[in-house]
A = this chain, B = another copy of it.
Amino acid sequence: MRLRELGISIGVLPPGPHNAITDVPGVLVGHSTIIADEPRVARTGVTMIVPRAGAIWSDHVFAAYHSFNGNGEMTGLPWIAESGMIGAPIGITNTNQVGIVRDAIIRHATEQRYYESFFLPVVAETWDGILNDIGAFHVTTEHAIAAITGASGGAVPEGNVGGGTGMICHGFKGGIGTASRVAATESGDFTVGVLVQANYGLREDLRVDGVPVGRLIPESEVPSAWGPTESSSSIIVIIATDAPLIPIQCRRLAQRATVGLARVGGFGGNSSGDIFLAFATGNPLPAAPATPYALQMLPHAQINPLFRGVAEATEEAILNALCAAATTVGLRGHVAHALPHSRLREIVGRARAAL
């Protein structure tokens, strides 16, 4: 179930065909989902975003990041800041295993003899230690590589999948969500796609299109997975676009994820790792060029529709994660309840009818 299937949409721009990050041509998503009850409880996994299908190792993308609250990890940041480029799939997993996933990307590149690529992988995380026995270190090199080799385009599985398997958001079950927007500019239409691993926020702060849904579903009705006043985690936002942006413009897009997050109810809490990465596929970037790159650059004055697209798609991607995620029982019997769809539909419907 996705937000729009409940009759609710966000913003004014139209989504792409799958309303997913994969609407950006060439972008693939793969998940390795790890669920087990024995010998130790596993509710975790890895998600991989491949920026250019079949080519990322030899044809890089421009990229930049923004840290809204840095209580989290994203590897590879110095080279993104310096070069504005990424040349490998991007991983998201749990906090304890960023390292094995990072090294796995290098192992895979080495085995496949992707020699043109540099070896500074980008891997991010959020913490799933409420539902997942995170000290069991369930993720293996093979899980990470399988998420790359199994990545595909089209509709993206959401909720309790991949890196999002054990995540919690605004007290409900969270996880992976995605959305997209088509942004019309004077230079033509471009797609902005967003994928989130949502694991942050308090119940009371949850808003859907401005409506304070969280406050209206009390603890007595659906108890929060972390308790009502606590939240110790994070959201990773990956933004893709086919617009011809240069790195400085990718950074502008990355920062706009803050807008969507703020509108759902995030404020970058102290224990939250709210780190946003944006990449742009609109320019080919061969890994080892002999001559200067010939680039296109969207004029800054035309970028507002992309900013709006990032804000809207981030807001909707988080809500898609909440709508898709299923109630989960995990470590020590902890329960994260799904956001009740009927209540969501009812509350938002009531608020809209009044306007």
Contact = CB atoms under 8 A, between A and B. Distances in A.
A300 interface: yes
A307 interface: yes
B270 A307 contact: yes
Given A246-B246, A259-B262, A262-B258, A83 B100 contact: no
Nearest to A301: B270
Given A98-B75, A263-B262, A267-B307, A292 B187 contact: yes
A347 B273 CA distance: 37
Contacts of A9: none
Interface in A101-130: 101-104, 106-107, 110, 118-120, 123
B96 A99 contact: no
A263 B211 CA distance: 12
Contact of A354 (B103, B104, B209, B351): B351
The interface size bin for chain A is: 35 or more
Copy number in this complex? 4
A123 B83 CA distance: 21
B83 A78 contact: no
Given A67-B82, A262-B262, A99 B110 contact: no
B75 A70 contact: no
19 contacts: A67-B78, A68-B258, A69-B252, A70-B77, A71-B78, A71-B120, A77-B78, A83-B248, A95-B119, A95-B120, A96-B110, A186-B291, A209-B210, A210-B210, A246-B246, A268-B307, A293-B299, A295-B296, A351-B354
Contacts of A24: none
Considering the complex of A and B, which 4 residue pairs feature the smallest CB-CB distances, nearest first?
A210-B210, A70-B78, A99-B99, A70-B82
Interface of A: 12, 67-85, 95-104, 106-107, 110, 118-120, 123, 135, 137, 186-187, 204, 207, 209-212, 216, 244, 246-248, 252, 255-256, 258-259, 262-263, 266-271, 273, 275, 288-301, 303-304, 307-308, 311, 347, 350-351, 353-355
A287 B232 CA distance: 16
A301 B293 CA distance: 12
Contact of A70 (B81, B209, B212, B270): B81
